[in-house]
Structure 1
Amino acid sequence: MSEQNRALADRTLVVSGASRGIGLAIALAAAEQGANVVLLAKTAQPHPRLPGTVHTAAAEVEAAGGKAAAVVGDVREEADVARLVETAVERFGGVDLVVNNASAIAVEPTEQLSAKKFDLMQDINIRGTFLLTKACLPHLRESANPHVVTIAPPVNMNPRWLGAHPAYTLSKYGMTLLSQGWAAEYAEAGIGFTCLWPQTYIATSAVANLADGDEQLAAARSPRIMADAAVAIMSQPAREVTGTCFLDVDAVSRYAGIDDLSRYGGGDNPTLDLFLD
């Protein structure tokens, strides 16, 4: 494996929502480069409708060539996040890379959306991103090339998206604004804050569980495209990418030299993701 493909070797990555889907895919791609991966997820026992647990994810990371530590916890809880970071420091000596992946979605119209679901989205998406990033910052300051990648979209003020599901849009744009704010706040510290968003639907459990899940999965790309994009971003000098909101296709093309996207599936006309015109 070339040096370019070992840029994350021996570096320590912390990932939230890491038991399946995009979070697990990023963890595995980093593990293939020899990274240490600390995974946070609530799923300790198998779920009847969802694949994998944080423990099976850790086993997959080890099998892929990385070192893993699994932490059962809730990104909304400050004590759980502190325990996650403590585990990273105790096991691997610090934190170099963070992926804010944990997210909740509810797209019911406002009059049908419960306050409980509203709170859940704001708490996981915004509060969770804030808590995890804040807890990692003292250790990121000590890293040679620290990155925080947040799975959030470019802010698109088109009324189509503002009116489609305002509460969910608020939570995802909140993640983006935090990332862009931190890019400015910590510019002198040399920490790279970037956002990453899929150009198309990604074949995850969330898509599979839609009413037309089989049809949507056929037009969705593999989570691997998000993983390759995240790893490519985190392999760049942090100061050169900070403040950028990337689409997965742009990141893999620019930094990994991948222009043929057929390897990721989705057919000839994959479904464009939310927030993209």
Structure 2
Amino acid sequence: MASESRTSSQPSFADRTVVVSGGSRGIGLAIALGAARHGANVVLLAKTAEPHPKLPGTVYTAVAEVEAAGGKGVAVVGDVRKEEDVARAIDTAVEHFGGVDVVVNNASAIATEPTEQLSAKKFDLMMDINVRGTFLLTKAALPYLRKSPGAHVLTLAPPLNMNPHWLGAHPSYTLSKYGMSLLSLGWAQEYGREKGTTAIGFSCLWPETYIATSAVTNLAAGDDLVKASRSPEIMADAAVQILSRPPGEVNGRCFIDSEILAESGVTDLSGYGGGDEPILDIFVDERTS
């Protein structure tokens, strides 16, 4: 089922340029394709130049998919942790398409081992990719986002859930993801309103359920987990809805995918898979009603 048929509106991304970090596969690629189906220019920043033995696709095959979907795409092989690579991605967007209208901070690392088993290397990796990478890409894009009539920075991070369960489940990973959320909320106040108008919409998006990506497939019992996971297209459709709204309408908000779709008139989520009881994602509490 095409994503257009699941959403209530037909937004246009013609002449809009979207820069996505970690966009060679999974949710990042799905969002890139969602924008491409509506005519976007897409710049993908990712490390995967060569095929990975356990993960599908490269940044180049991802660009081919973007163009097949109806958009224009450019691949930038680089590491979101490196300032020079991030600058090259933004420069590429400007050189090819004349500017930057949307940044999607998708690149992320996860390690959920208990604190005493978590290595310093993994801790640093999460902080460097999740927090530093989000900071670097957004900072580099800001001068161009200010020039866009409908600028957005969408960060794949959860609402701040202070439930002690999530605080204690994996404190270091939680810190890194909440760090991304806090940067977005902070930027919403720092840059969201300039000269009396909402110049840039800073928002977060998080899945209500597990999403059927390679990260889930490669877990123990991955095949069973995938059956109870929704497809990445739900995140793509949710992202398109957010990025189609005026910046001021979404600035400073943290969205759950199913909730933003419901706001947009989409309540039947069966087309995204996951069965009758898909697995709730990390940071999402059981509903009491």
Shift of 1:213: 0.4
Alignment match of 1:239 (pick from 227, 248, 256): 248
Matched, 1:197 2:206: yes
- Give, in whole Å, the separation in 1 of the partners of 2:168 and 2:99: 42
Distance (Å, rounded) in 2 between the aligned partners of 1:268 and 1:6: 30
TM-score (norm 2): 0.94
* Matched AA of 2:26: G
Q: Which residue of 1 aligns with 2:174?
A: 169
SS in 2 for 1:157: coil
Q: Which residue of 1 aligns with 2:116?
A: 111
Find the aligned partners of 2:23 and 2:193 in 1 and give their Cα distance: 30
Offset, 1:202: 0.2
Q: 2:190 aligns with which of 169, 185, 191?
A: 185
Within a 5 Å distance, the mapping from 1:116-127 to structure 2 comes to: 116-127=121-132
1:250 aligns with 2:259: yes
The residue aligned with 1:83 is 88
Q: State which drifts further: 7-16 or 100-109.
A: 7-16
- Counterpart-to-counterpart distance in 2, 1:78 and 1:203: 31
Give the aligned partner of residue 157 of structure 2. 152
Q: What residue in structure 1 maps to residue 62 of structure 2?
A: 57
C-alpha separation between the residues in 2 aligned to 1:269 and 1:188?
Answer: 40
The runs of 5 or more residues in structure 1 that have no matched partner are none
Decide whether the 8 Å contact of 2:208 with 2:284 is kept in 1. Answer: yes
- Give, as a single letter, the amino acid of the residue that structure 2 aligns with 1:81: V
CA RMSD of aligned residues (A): 1.3
CA contact (8 A) 1:6 1:34 kept: no
2:135 — aligned with what? 130
Opposite residue 209 of structure 1, the aligned amino acid is N
1:35 positional shift: 0.3
Partner of residue 281, structure 2: 273
Specify the alignment match of 1:73 in structure 2: 78
Deviations 1:119-149 (A, max 9, x none): 0000000000000000000000000010000
Identity in percent: 72
- Cα deviation, residue 186, structure 1: 1.0
CA contact (8 A) 1:40 1:54 kept: yes
Q: When the two structures are aligned, how many residues end up with a matched partner?
A: 276
Stretches of 4+ aligned residues off by more than 4 angstroms = none
Q: Deviations over 1:242-266 (max 9, x none)?
A: 00000000111213x2110001000
Q: More helix by proportion, 1 or 2?
A: 1
Distance 1:171 1:15 in 2: 19
Match of 1:5, SS? Answer: coil
SS at match of 2:116: helix
CA distance in 2, matches of 1:233, 1:186: 18
Instruction: Answer yes or no: is the 8 Å Cα contact 1:14–1:88 preserved in 2.
Output: yes
- Deviation digits for residues 71-108 of structure 1, max 9, x if unmatched? 00000000000000000000000000010000000000
